Structure 1
Amino acid sequence: MIEILNRLIDVIEERIGEDVDIETFASTMGTTSYHTRRMFASLAGIPLSEYVRRRRMTVAAADVVGDDDFLTISVRYGYGSTEAFGRAFRSVHGVSHGVVRRNGGPLRNYPQIRFHLTIEGSIPMDARIVEKPAFLLVGHAVRVPLIHEGVNPRIQQHIASLPATEHERLKQLSDTEPAGLLQVSADVDPDYAEGSELTYLHGVAVNAGSHVPDDLDAIEVEEGSWVVFRTSGEHPAALQAAYATSATEWFPSNPWRLRPGPSIVAVLERAEDFSTATCDLWLPIERS
Structure 2
Amino acid sequence: MEWLDRLNNSLEYIEKNLDNELSFENAAKIACCSVNHYQRMFSFISDTTLGEYIRRRRLTKAAFDLQNTNMSVLDISLKFGYNSPTAFTRAFTAMHGVTPTKARRFGTSLKSYPRISFQISVKGEKELVYKIEEKEEFKIIGIKESIINDGVYNTGRIPQMWSEAIQNGVIYQIASYSNNLYSGMMGLCSNFRDNLFDYYIGVVSDQQAGVLEELRIKKGIWAVFECIGLSSIQPTWTRVFTEWFPSSGYELADAPEIEWYPHSNISNSEEYRTEIWIPIKKRCNS
Which residue of 2 is the match for residue 113 of structure 1?
Answer: 116
The aligned counterpart of 2:73 is 70
Which of 180, 197, 217 is matched with 1:221 structurally?
Answer: 217
Per the alignment, in what secondary structure is the counterpart of residue 154 of structure 2?
Answer: coil
Alignment partners' CA distance in 2, 1:267 and 1:203? 10
Q: 1:240 to 1:217 in 2, by over 3 A?
A: same
Matched residues, number: 273
**C-alpha contact (below 8 Å) 1:270/1:277 kept by paired residues:** yes
Indicate whether 1:271 and 2:273 are aligned: no
Percent identical pairs in the alignment equals 26
Equivalent position to 1:185, from 163, 174, 188? 188
Q: Is the 8 A contact 1:270 1:276 kept in 2?
A: no
CA contact (8 A) 1:261 1:284 kept: yes
Cα deviation digits, residues 90-137 of structure 1 (max 9, x gap): 222221111121235212111111001212110110111111232222
Give 1:39's match in structure 2, choosing from 20, 38, 41: 41
Residues 131 and 223 of structure 2 are in contact (CA less than 8 Å); yes or no, is this contact kept in structure 1?
Answer: yes
- Counterpart contact for 1:37–1:190, Cα < 8 Å: no
Counterpart position of 1:86:
89
Pair 164,184 (structure 1): closer, same or farther in 2 beyond 3 Å: closer
Equivalence for 1:102: 105
- d(CA) in 1 for partners of 2:84 and 2:246? 41
Which residue among 43, 49, 52 is the counterpart of 2:51? 49
CA contact (8 A) 1:231 1:279 kept: yes
Residue aligning to 1:140 = 142
C-alpha distance 200-35 of structure 1, shift in aligned 2 (>3 A): same
The question of 1:170 aligning with 2:164 is answered no
Q: Do residues 285 (structure 1) and 280 (structure 2) align?
A: yes
Per the TM alignment, residue 144 of structure 1 is displaced from its structure 2 partner at its CA by 5.8
TM-score normalised according to structure 1 size: 0.84
RMSD: 2.6
Is contact 2:175-2:203 (8 Å) kept? no
SS of alignment partner, residue 163 of structure 2: helix
Q: Which amino acid aligns with 2:214?
A: A
Match of 2:25 in 1: 23
How far apart, in 2, do the equivalents of 1:187 and 1:168 lie? 20
State the match for 1:60 in structure 2: 62
Are the aligned partners of 1:148 and 1:240 in contact in 2 as well (CA < 8 Å)?
Answer: no
Alpha carbons 2:166, 2:172 under 8 Å: kept: no
Matched, 1:156 2:147: no
Provide structure 1 residue ranges, at least 5 long, that are not aligned to the other structure. none
Deviations 1:54-109 (A, max 9, x none): 11111122210132222222222222222222222222222111112123521211
Return closer, same or farther for 1:126/1:98 CA change in 2, 3 Å cut-off. Answer: same
Post-superposition offset of 1:46: 0.7
| Separation (CA, whole Å) in 2 of partners of 1:163 and 1:83 | 42
Please give the alpha-carbon distance, in whole angstroms, between the structure 2 residues aligned to 1:6 and 1:43: 12
**SS of corresponding position for 1:280:** strand
> Partner of 2:13 in structure 1?
11
* Residue pair 1:230, 1:280 contacting (<8 A) in 2 also: yes
SS in 2 for 1:243: helix
- Maintained 8 Å contact 1:142/1:158: no
Distance apart, 1:255 and its partner CA:
0.5
Judge conservation of contact 2:31–2:38 (CA < 8 Å) in 1. Answer: no
Higher mean C-alpha deviation, range 151-160 or range 42-51: 151-160
TM-score calculated relative to the size of structure 2? 0.85
Counterparts in 2 of 1:218 and 1:3: CA distance versus 1, 3 Å? same
Q: Partner residue of 1:260?
A: 254
Aligned equivalents of 2:164 and 2:17: distance in 1? Answer: 45
CA contact 2:162–2:201 (8 Å) conserved in 1? no
Aligned residue type for 1:147 = N
> Given the superposition, is the C-alpha separation of residues 168 and 214 from structure 1 closer, same or farther in structure 2, using an over 3 Å criterion?
closer
Q: Cα distance, 1:160 vs. partner?
A: 4.4
**Which position in structure 1 is the counterpart of 2:150?**
none
